[in-house]
């Protein structure tokens, strides 16, 4: 048995798996081989940001009360009371990366934010037509989000995102844009309802980014120390809607725990505050273990 030949074959197989992931543009949570949200262009834009929100199963459309509102429901930016910077780093398998940073600023007429989502796969082994190693290449995608939320009346807020997209694979690149619109309303003191139309208009290169619709409800209990939430999400090119449910319990003003289920995938996490700083951890499971995610978020309010 030729051990060197076997080792070389295994290395090429591993490289092939990673290449398939890139060509399918499947970053963050799912792999192209095993279902999940891999339909349409740039599925990573539908994977979610913020360790706290993702630990709640992504059932955040009707909550959106921190800097991650810019992603989940920009209408929530209308209720921002202080400047905030929030980041997230995702520790993923198979050489993938997923990072996010967002800055939120309250304004007299509402709330404004600017953020960046970065996703990609690095160090993908390349081979020529003779199956000889030919270096490596990367896949990288960056999305700039400019978001705004405004109160229309006491119990209704609206918001929108403008996304500028830059996408590159080896020596090729493409650009695009997307527009999201959203609303949050509070029909009762402890109840909030949310709706987001993500990529109402969206293209990258010659591809259309599919419309994603999320509707959600949140309910606060026990003096607002317990929050229950539920979302339904439907992507236009995927047959069945997904259900997300989440819960957050506030232990005190500086500490909380979260748990949730996103389309059958369990998640949990915790958030800790010290003075103006906040640290959050989230763990998102998946039936296929290579896709489990460890998420870290760091925030500061000033």
Tens of each residue's pLDDT in the chain, 302 residues? 454 544 554 454 444 444 444 443 333 333 332 334 445 678 888 889 999 999 999 999 999 999 999 999 999 999 888 999 999 998 766 667 889 999 999 998 899 999 999 988 777 777 777 777 777 777 889 999 999 999 998 899 999 999 999 988 877 889 999 999 999 999 999 999 999 999 999 999 888 999 999 999 999 999 999 999 999 999 987 768 999 999 999 999 899 999 999 998 999 999 999 999 999 999 998 765 566 789 999 999 99
What whole-number distance in Å separates Cα of residue 69 and Cα of residue 80?
9
Domain-wise residue ranges, the chain:
3-301
Kindly state the DSSP code that residue 13 receives in the 8-state scheme: H
CB under 8 Å to 145, separation ≥6 — which residues?
70, 71, 102, 113, 114, 115, 116, 117, 161, 162, 163
DSSP 43-107: GGGGS---HHHHHTTT--TTT--STTHHHH-GGGGGG--S-EEEEEEEE-STTEEEEEEEEEEEE
Q: Burial letters for 130-157: b for 16+ Cβ neighbours within 10 Å, e otherwise?
A: eeeeeeebebbbebebebbbbbeeeebb
Query: Can you read off the two tokens belonging to residue 24?
Result: 């399918």
**What pLDDT sits at residue 239?**
67
CB 181 within 8 A of CB 159: yes
Token pair 């949730």: residue: 260
Which class is domain 3-301? mainly beta
pLDDT at 136: 73
pLDDT value, residue 229: 98
């Amino acid at each position: 048995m030729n051990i060197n030949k076997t080792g070389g074959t295994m290395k090429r197989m591993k490289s092939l798996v990673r290449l398939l992931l890139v060509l399918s543009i499947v970053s963050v949570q799912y792999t192209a081989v095993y279902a999940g949200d891999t339909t349409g262009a740039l599925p990573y834009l539908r994977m979610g940001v913020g360790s706290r929100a993702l630990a709640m199963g992504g059932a955040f459309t009707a909550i959106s009360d921190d800097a991650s509102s810019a992603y989940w429901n920009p209408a929530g930016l209308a209720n921002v009371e202080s400047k905030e910077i929030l980041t997230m780093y995702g520790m993923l398998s198979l050489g993938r990366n997923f990072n996010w940073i967002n800055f939120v600023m309250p304004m007299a007429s509402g709330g404004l934010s600017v953020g960046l989502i970065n996703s990609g796969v690095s160090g993908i082994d390349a081979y020529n037509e003779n199956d000889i190693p030919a270096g490596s290449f990367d896949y990288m995608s960056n999305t700039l989000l400019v978001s705004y939320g405004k109160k229309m009346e006491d119990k209704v807020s609206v918001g929108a995102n403008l996304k500028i997209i830059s996408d590159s694979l080896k020596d090729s690149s493409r650009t695009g844009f997307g527009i999201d619109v959203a609303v949050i309303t509070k029909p009762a003191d402890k109840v909030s309802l949310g709706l987001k139309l993500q990529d109402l208009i969206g293209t990258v290169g010659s591809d259309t980014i599919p419309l994603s619709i999320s509707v959600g409800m949140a309910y606060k209990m026990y003096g607002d120390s317990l929050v229950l939430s539920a979302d339904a999400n439907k992507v236009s090119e995927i047959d069945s809607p997904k259900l997300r449910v989440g819960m957050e319990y506030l232990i005190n003003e500086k500490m909380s725990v979260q748990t949730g289920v996103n389309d059958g995938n369990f998640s949990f996490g915790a958030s800790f505050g010290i003075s103006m700083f906040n640290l959050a951890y989230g763990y998102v499971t998946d039936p296929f273990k290579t896709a489990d995610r460890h998420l870290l978020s760091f925030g500061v309010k000033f």
